[in-house]
């Protein structure tokens, strides 16, 4: 079976790389990967993550953190590129991920070709980002679903998707972190260019695209970091509208602080060790909600970008207010026991199995609206996930 997977940014690679390896290991799979979105500007690093037997195609356009009209124009070019690539490759399945503005047009470009779409990370909620609407749109355009949690699977079913189309696989981004070799503190400090990582703050903050002021969270985080001196490791904002201005403000912060290191992206190995050695993660990245719990790392989740997303007891939420963020940074608890509703770090084989599962073509493409009261269990513990009560409050 020919599989077309799609990656639209640096965050996708750590999530998809284990799935690419699992698919490439199957003798009956011909794996192709479309690199679009942010990869169009620089695809060198991401191509290194491809298995040797896979074929990469860099197509489309980069939204590049510009304004709304520029993003819309780039999305149109991505849809056109996806349609042309799909017509040329004629894949048996296409694997789409998540909720990005540059992932939605890929789905739209493939729909006229009747390519069966498999959606990873559907059914989640992020009320503070326009990605929220893109995610649910991709869900309804898709034919099979790999849900990261039991809660997400149930939500997909309530959207009218038939239960047989839905698998609870977990989040494959955890797989890369579990596989990454551990570094000791001294080696990690040298790798990121800091003399000391005592009290290290891991910082990832993006525009809040569904807010009246998308950069309020960026400003609140940077101001709170200035008010609480300490070593910081900052990664780049994504390519959402407002991302370019967010990067400008982050660069100005970095120029003022010698104890701050910056990496555009850390890669799976350094990122896993950042989660192992940091004292706290601060910002509004989905990684704080999904991956950090696997390491018991305390997270200060700022603003509303991740509102609605299931989280563990390690996450503490606060508004996009510098004073509120500062107060939480001054009262960071010790690391907690690892706890993650998004799986066990062995999701990739489950995703690969779901993507390649045999289905009669007419049944797969003939979608019906279901009203089933479907129930799902997590394959890593056999029990339904439960929404937590917020145990860490101000």
Q: Is residue 383 part of a domain?
A: no
Does residue 296 share a domain with residue 162?
A: no
Residues 267 and 349 in one domain: no
The answer to whether position 376 is within a domain reads no
Q: In what order do the strands lie in the sheet with 166-168?
A: 55-58, 30-35, 2-7, 93-97, 117-120, 144-147, 166-168
Contact 58, 43 (CB under 8 A): yes
3-state secondary structure of 341: coil
Q: For the segment 158-208, what is each residue's pLDDT rounded down to a tens digit? A: 999 999 999 999 999 999 899 899 999 999 999 999 999 999 999 999 999
- Would you give per-residue pLDDT tens digits along the chain (394 residues)? 999 999 998 889 989 999 999 999 999 999 999 999 999 988 887 888 899 999 999 999 998 877 889 999 999 999 999 999 999 999 999 999 999 899 999 999 999 999 999 999 999 998 888 889 999 999 999 999 999 999 999 999 999 999 999 999 999 999 989 989 999 999 999 999 999 999 999 999 999 988 999 999 999 999 999 999 899 999 999 888 899 999 999 999 999 988 999 998 898 899 999 999 999 999 999 999 999 999 999 999 999 999 999 998 999 999 999 999 999 999 999 999 888 889 999 999 999 999 999 999 999 999 999 987 788 999 998 654 443 333 444 4
- Say if residue 133 is in the same domain as residue 260: no
Q: Does 200 lie in the same domain as 62?
A: no
Question: 290 and 356 share a domain?
Answer: no
Identify whether 227 is part of a domain.
Answer: yes
pTM: 0.84
Within this chain, do residues 226 and 106 fall inside the same structural domain, yes or no?
A: no
226-229: long-range contacts, CB 8 A cutoff, minimum separation 24: 226/253, 226/256, 226/257, 227/322, 227/326, 228/326, 228/329, 228/330, 229/259
Does 146 lie in the same domain as 22? Answer: yes
Domain span at residue 246? 177-329
The candidate with the shortest Cα–Cα distance to 9, out of 264, 260, 227, is 264
74 and 131 both lie in a single domain: yes
Q: Clarify whether residues 133 and 253 are in a common domain.
A: no
147 and 188 in a single domain? The answer is no
Number of independent structural domains in the chain: 2
Q: Is residue 187 part of a domain?
A: yes
**314-325 pLDDT tens trace:** 999 999 999 999
Apex 70 CA angle, 66 and 76, nearest 5? 130
Residue 380 falls inside a structural domain: no
If asked whether residues 83 and 195 sit together in one domain, one would say no
Residue 381 included in any domain: no
Task: Check which CATH number belongs to the domain holding 361 and give it.
Answer: 3.40.50.2000
Question: Do 55 and 140 belong to one domain?
Answer: yes
Which class for 374: exposed (0-12), middle (13-18), buried (19 or more C-beta within 10 A)? middle
- Domain membership flag for residue 121: yes
Q: Is residue 378 part of a domain?
A: no
């Amino acid at each position: 079976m020919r599989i077309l997977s799609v990656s639209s940014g640096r965050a996708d690679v750590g999530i998809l790389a284990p799935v690419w390896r699992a698919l490439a290991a199957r003798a009956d799979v011909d794996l192709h990967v479309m690199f679009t979105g942010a990869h169009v500007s620089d695809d060198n690093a991401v191509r290194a993550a491809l298995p040797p037997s896979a074929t990469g195609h860099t197509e489309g356009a980069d939204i590049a953190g510009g304004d709304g009209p520029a993003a819309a124009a780039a999305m149109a070019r991505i849809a056109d590129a996806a349609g042309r690539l799909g017509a040329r490759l004629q894949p048996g399945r296409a694997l789409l991920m998540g909720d990005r503005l540059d992932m939605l047009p890929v789905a739209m470009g493939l729909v006229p070709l009747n390519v069966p779409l498999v959606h990873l990370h559907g059914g989640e909620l992020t009320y503070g980002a326009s990605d929220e609407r893109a995610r649910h749109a991709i869900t309804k355009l898709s034919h099979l679903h790999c849900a990261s949690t039991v809660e997400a699977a149930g939500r997909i079913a309530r959207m009218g998707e038939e239960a047989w189309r839905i698998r609870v696989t977990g989040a494959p981004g955890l797989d890369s972190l579990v596989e990454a070799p551990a570094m000791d503190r001294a080696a990690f400090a040298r790798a990121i260019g800091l003399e000391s990582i005592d009290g290290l703050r891991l910082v990832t903050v993006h525009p809040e695209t569904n807010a009246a002021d998308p950069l309020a969270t960026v400003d609140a985080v940077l101001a709170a970091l200035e008010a609480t001196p300490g070593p910081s490791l900052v990664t780049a904002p994504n390519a959402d509208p407002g991302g370019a201005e967010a990067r400008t403000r982050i660069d100005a912060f970095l120029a003022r602080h010698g104890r701050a290191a910056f990496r555009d992206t850390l890669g799976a190995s350094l990122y896993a060790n950042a989660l192992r050695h940091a004292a706290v993660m601060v910002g509004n990245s989905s990684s704080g909600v999904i991956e950090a719990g696997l390491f018991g790392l305390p997270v200060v989740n700022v603003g509303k970008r991740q509102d609605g997303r299931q989280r563990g007891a390690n996450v503490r939420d606060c508004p996009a207010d510098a004073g509120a963020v500062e107060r939480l940074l001054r009262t960071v608890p010790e690391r907690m026991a690892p706890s993650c509703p998004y799986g066990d770090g062995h999701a990739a084989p489950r995703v690969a199995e779901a993507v390649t599962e045999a289905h009669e073509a007419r049944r797969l493409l003939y979608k019906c609206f279901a009203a089933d009261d479907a129930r799902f269990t997590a394959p890593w513990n056999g029990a339904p996930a439960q929404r937590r009560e917020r145990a860490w409050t101000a």
